Each structure stands twice: as C-alpha cells, then as structure tokens.
Structure 1
Amino acid sequence: MVTRDLTVLLSGFSGEIRKEFRQLKREMRAQEEARQEKAAEGDGQEDENSETEEERRNALFKAYRDEQRLYTEKKKTQLKKGSQREQQTLAALAKFQAKLKEVQEREPASPEKEGEEEEGSDRWLAHALHFEEQGPVLARDAANVNPEEAYDISDPRNAMNQRRRDRKRKSHHSERRH
C-alpha cells in the first residue's frame, strides 16, 4: 500500500517535472531564436564609429577591421550568379581593355630604367612582352606509335644481319682486349 502511494506521488512529481522541463525548453528555444535574429540583423550593421577597446589600443588591428568592413560592403554590392553578374564582368573587362589600349597609345613601349617605376603608375600596362619563338615541340606518344616502328622486324637468319652482328661482336671484343 505504501509503495502504491509512493508511485502515485512520484508519478505526480515526474509529470510536474516534465511540464517544467518542456516550459524551460520552450523558453530556451525562444531565446536562441531571438539571439539568431539579432545576429542576422546585426551582420554588417555594426556602428562604424564604435571601436572596441582592442581597436583603440592596436593600430594594426584597427586597420585590419577597417579593411574587413570595406570588403564586406563590397561583397554586399556584388551581384549573385546570373546574367546581371555576367554583364557586370564583361563591362569591367571592356573597361580594362579600353584603359590598356589608351595607355599603349599614349606611351609607346620604350626601354626604361628599373628605378624609374612609380608605385601607382600605369606604365606596366604599356609593357610589351617579347620572346624567342620556338617551333612546336613534337613529343612522342606511346599510344600513337606506328606498328611498323614498334618492333624490330629484322630476320636474324638474313645474311646481312648476321654480318652486322659479327662486325659488332668483333669490334666489341677488340675494344676489350686493348
């Protein structure tokens, strides 16, 4: 009888514990979702004027964060895959080609001293690459061997081949003795 009362009492507690557990789980899930939404909204919307303590102390870290912000902004403006992105890329290519042609017309390629180059100049665009032209290198492919060239098809019984072998053998022996 006591055990029956105890099991009823424990089952009542376990029911309450389960209810409390579910309630806590819901609250934690709601907090996590709120935190994720806040992080999603806050991505990239960091206050530009707010500097962390570390940024104030370390100039290198500050420069790093500034550059990181710059590239995150560029990434946001960059188009995703598709025809618009292709058009943007082709427009950038056309702009570069026009600049290249303009620099080449303005400054014909001339030999220059190595120390004259300025950091931000466009003189490198006018440079012409000259090299010795080499004929095509004909590589032999093992798969494309002429069947006639693949094997030595000389008959060892042939008189001409026998004489050739004899000459080689005699010259080889005479070299050894000397």
Structure 2
Amino acid sequence: MNALSHSYADLESRAYTTSGWSIAEIISVLLDSGWAWAGLAVAVGWLVTRARVSRPAALAQGGAVAGVLALLAATAAYGVVDAIRSGGEFAWYESESPVWWVASVVFGAPLGAVGACVRRPGAIGLLARLTVPVGAALQMVVLPPGRNEVVETIGKTVVWTAAAASIGFIVVRFLVKRRRPDS
C-alpha cells in the first residue's frame, strides 16, 4: 500500500503536501499504524488458540508465541517488500529495523496472550476483546496518522468511528450474553 499510495502522491506540490490525499494513502496510513500491528498479534493469538481446550496458562503461552511469530513474520515481509520496491538491498540490520525486531518480541508476546483470552467469559474476555479498538482510539489521541491535516482528520474519523462501533458491539454482546440464562 505504501508503494501504491506514493505513486499517486505529488509531494513536489505544496497544495498536495498540505491538503492532498488519496484513498490509497489513507489505507496505507491506517495499515501502518501501531494499532493495526497490535491487532495482527491479537488476532493470531486468538486464531491459534481458539480451537484448543486447555488450561488458561497454556493458551496464553501459545498465544504469546503466536503473537511474537506473527509480528516477526510481518516485520520480515515488510522489510523484504520495501527492499524489493525500492530496488535496494535487504537492510534488516540498518537504521530502525532492529527496533522493530525487538518491538515484535516485546509487544507480540503480551498481545498474542491477550488474543488467547478473547474467548474467555467474564471481565477477562471482555477486556481482551476491547484491547484493539480501545488501543486504536487511544492512538488517535496520542499519535494520529498522516502527513497533513486532511489525512490526519480522515484517518482519525475512520478509526474513531470503527473503534466506537466495535466497542459498542462488544459491550452490548457481552451484556446480552450475561443476561441470558445458561441452558
């Protein structure tokens, strides 16, 4: 998406730089946000552990390993595609790449463990399900996406809307399930 969005960008133009945008750029900015990467680790942690019936600790460990591996694989894929796109060499050891390798391990483990907790009943499951949408909304306050005010506003609007809808759906579903008598 980065390559596609840059092919439409006229960064030489002052007007485009200060107020221009494209759908490809919005998608690129959203996919390159921290909440999207966190969502990958949570989703993979959930997918790997959803079919297993085991102790919660074993599920969390499996989810943690899956989260780390997912972020490491995504980081590697990002580096390979970026190197191919730019025609350069694979510079996995240069500049900021080591930061992302370490971040994949440091954040992938707890996020994957959170994903393993998504199916748990009660408050733990609810908090696990709310992690990504709440994190996405919070990121829009702390570190909004985009290179100009227009892209930032569109990005914030999309994420806040999706986060609010997700949070509402998750909470309502939780409350409805709680009120339902066990059969």
Q: Which has the higher helix share?
A: 2
Q: Which structure is higher in RCO with an 8 Å CA cutoff and minimum separation 6?
A: 2
Q: Tell me if TM exceeds 0.5.
A: no
Shorter-chain TM-score range? under 0.3
Scaled by the length of structure 2, the TM-score of the pair is 0.20
